[in-house]
């Protein structure tokens, strides 16, 4: 089992103070890694780092600003002595880029669509440029992106998010080939594609706020998920540790579904 050991690994994770990000941070730390929690909400990032104990840091970053990302990398190098793995966990959705009874596809504001696209796609590409260059200079490094099941099976209503995550999956394939061929075969890029995880962002889209019962949309998802439940943040940890560790050293350019079988089920 030593191949899954993360002792000595230094991991920088954007969006690390969010629900899914914080769960990954906890899992990586328990596997022995030292973590730089990169987040725009620096207070939450630093609080989480303190909870984990010495050897972990919280760092402010704006994933849409390359200067901010470069400063964060410099802090990681100064405080941790370097970085071995980048996890691009920053992302999210906006009601303005989601159709609803009150907002048709034809009326989605350009600025809302661009915000969600930038946050998820540019917010993955820009950190990969900064940290990827650092990795290329040492001929070793590992990037893990967070895509989504909505990249390959777009969810109704969620236009901007689905399109952006499709871009993240495509970028994962592209960057894996580019770094391995142009710089070093020891540079790896993969992605996790979570299925339907119940988070604060979508909780009351999938469950009724007053009763806690599943909404019509929530029932549809469960009916199309063979494991018959939503994912919990902890369900990502094992796959993330595998991709971060030497256990996956011959895996690059892969987008790994963590979806309870949703992508395998045709509905019949």
More confident residue, 203 or 53: 53
C-alpha distance across the termini of the chain, in Å:
39
Q: Could you tell me which of 174, 189, 175 has the C-alpha nearest to residue 252?
A: 189
- Which positions are annotated as active-site residues? 161
pLDDT band of 137, cuts 50, 70, 90: very high
Average pLDDT, the chain: 95
Q: What is the DSSP letter of 92?
A: -
Instruction: List, in order of start, the domains of the chain with CATH numbers.
Output: 2-195+231-255 (3.40.50.720)
Are the C-beta atoms of residues 58 and 45 closer than 8 Å to each other?
yes
More confident residue, 236 or 205: 236
Distance CA 19, CA 267 (A): 30
Query: pLDDT above 70 covers what percent of the chain?
Result: 99
Task: Please state, as a whole number, how many other Cβ atoms lie within 10 Å of the Cβ of residue 171.
Answer: 20
Length of the chain: 268
DSSP 28-72: HHHTT-EEEEEES-HHHHHHHHHHH-TT-EEEE--TT-HHHHHHH
Q: Is the pLDDT of residue 205 over 90?
A: no
Dump pLDDT digits (tens) for 72-109.
999 999 999 999 999 999 999 999 999 999 999 999 99
Q: Is the pLDDT of residue 177 over 70?
A: yes
Residue 259: C-alpha distances to residues 11, 53, 106 (Å): 24, 32, 31
Lookup: tokens for 46 = 């630093």
Q: Is the pLDDT of residue 200 over 90?
A: no
Q: Is the pLDDT of residue 227 over 80?
A: yes
CA dihedral 203, 207, 208, 212 (to 10 degrees): -100
Taking phi over 0 as left and psi of -120 to 50 as alpha, with beta for the rest, 12 belongs to beta
Distance CA 268, CA 257 (A): 20
pLDDT at 204: 67
Q: Is the pLDDT of residue 203 over 80?
A: no
Dump pLDDT digits (tens) for 7-65.
999 999 999 999 999 999 999 999 999 999 999 999 999 999 999 999 999 999 999 99
Mean pLDDT along residues 239-246 = 98
User: Taking the CA atoms of the chain, what radius of gyration do you get in angstroms?
Assistant: 18
């Amino acid at each position: 089992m030593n191949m899954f050991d993360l002792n000595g690994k230094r991991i920088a994770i954007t969006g690390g103070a969010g629900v899914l990000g914080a769960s990954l941070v906890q899992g990586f730390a328990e596997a022995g890694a030292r973590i730089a929690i990169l987040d725009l909400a620096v207070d939450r990032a630093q609080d989480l780092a303190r909870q984990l104990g010495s050897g972990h840091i919280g760092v402010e970053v704006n994933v849409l600003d390359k200067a901010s990302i470069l400063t964060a990398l410099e802090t990681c190098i100064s405080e941790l002595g370097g970085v071995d793995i980048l996890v691009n966990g920053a992302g999210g959705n906006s009601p303005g880029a989601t159709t609803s009874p009150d907002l048709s596809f034809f009326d989605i504001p350009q600025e809302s669509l661009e915000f969600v696209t930038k946050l998820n796609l540019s917010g993955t590409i820009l950190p990969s440029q900064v940290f990827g260059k650092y990795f290329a200079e040492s001929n070793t490094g590992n990037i893990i992106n967070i895509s989504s099941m909505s990249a390959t099976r777009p969810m109704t209503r969620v236009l901007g998010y689905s399109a952006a995550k499709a871009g993240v999956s495509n970028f994962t394939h592209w960057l894996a080939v580019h770094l391995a061929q142009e710089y070093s075969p020891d540079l790896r890029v993969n992605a996790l594609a979570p299925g339907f995880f119940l988070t604060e962002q979508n909780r009351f889209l999938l469950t009724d706020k007053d009763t806690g019962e599943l909404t019509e949309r929530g029932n549809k998802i469960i009916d199309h998920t063979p494991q018959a439940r939503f994912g919990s943040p902890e369900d990502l940890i094992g796959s993330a540790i595998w991709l971060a560790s030497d256990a996956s050293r011959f895996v690059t350019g892969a987008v790994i579904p963590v979806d309870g079988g949703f992508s395998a089920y045709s509905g019949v």
